[in-house]
């Protein structure tokens, strides 16, 4: 079994997948679309990745504001969650994604990735951070 992590954006979805032991998350790809509301191809690609990787659960980043309030992006993300659940039949867990994009940018700076190239990776790294946070939290709960 593997878990998929998703960072849902207005024109991209960053994708990460766990290892089979549910210890580490690895970035897989960024799914790009031309228009925000055009999700058919995005959902189809996610389904392909689910089948290819034996995914049994999805962790979707929840873009709450820094003060904990919910903005317009949360509503769009919850609609995407419902579409994912209907289309895949898999459970979708929401995970607080505050600061994941900032952390992803810092990781790329430390790695020496040029500023103009960072946008090519930020969503995939953010998805990896979302999924890794979920995996780490579950591992800690199992130890208690």
Residue 68 has pLDDT above 90, yes or no: no
Of residues 143 and 47, the one with the higher pLDDT is 47
Per the structure, the complete domain to which residue 40 belongs is given by 2-143
Residue 82 has pLDDT above 90, yes or no: yes
Residue 33 has pLDDT above 70, yes or no: yes
| Mean pLDDT estimate for the chain | 87
Q: What pLDDT, on the 0 to 100 scale, is given for residue 144?
A: 54
Total domains in the chain come to: 1
Assign 72 a pLDDT band (cuts: 50, 70, 90): confident
Q: What pLDDT, on the 0 to 100 scale, is given for residue 102?
A: 67
Residue 83: CATH number of its domain: 3.30.420.140
Q: pTM of the prediction?
A: 0.88
Region 15-32: mean pLDDT is 96
Q: Which residues pair with 13 in a beta bridge?
A: 8, 31
């Amino acid at each position: 079994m593997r878990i998929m992590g998703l960072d849902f954006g207005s024109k991209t979805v960053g994708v990460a997948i766990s290892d089979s032991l549910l210890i580490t998350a690895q970035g897989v790809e960024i799914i790009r679309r031309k228009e925000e509301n055009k999700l058919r191809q995005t959902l189809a690609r996610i389904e392909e990745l689910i089948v290819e990787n034996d995914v049994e659960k999805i962790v979707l980043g929840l873009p709450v504001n820094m003060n904990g309030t919910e903005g317009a992006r949360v509503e769009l993300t919850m609609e995407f969650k419902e579409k994912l659940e209907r289309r895949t039949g898999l459970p979708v867990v929401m995970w607080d994604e505050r600061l994941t994009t900032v952390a992803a940018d810092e990781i790329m700076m430390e790695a020496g990735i040029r500023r103009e190239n960072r946008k090519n990776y930020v969503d995939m790294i953010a998805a990896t951070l979302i999924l890794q946070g979920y995996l780490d939290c579950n591992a800690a709960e199992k130890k208690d």
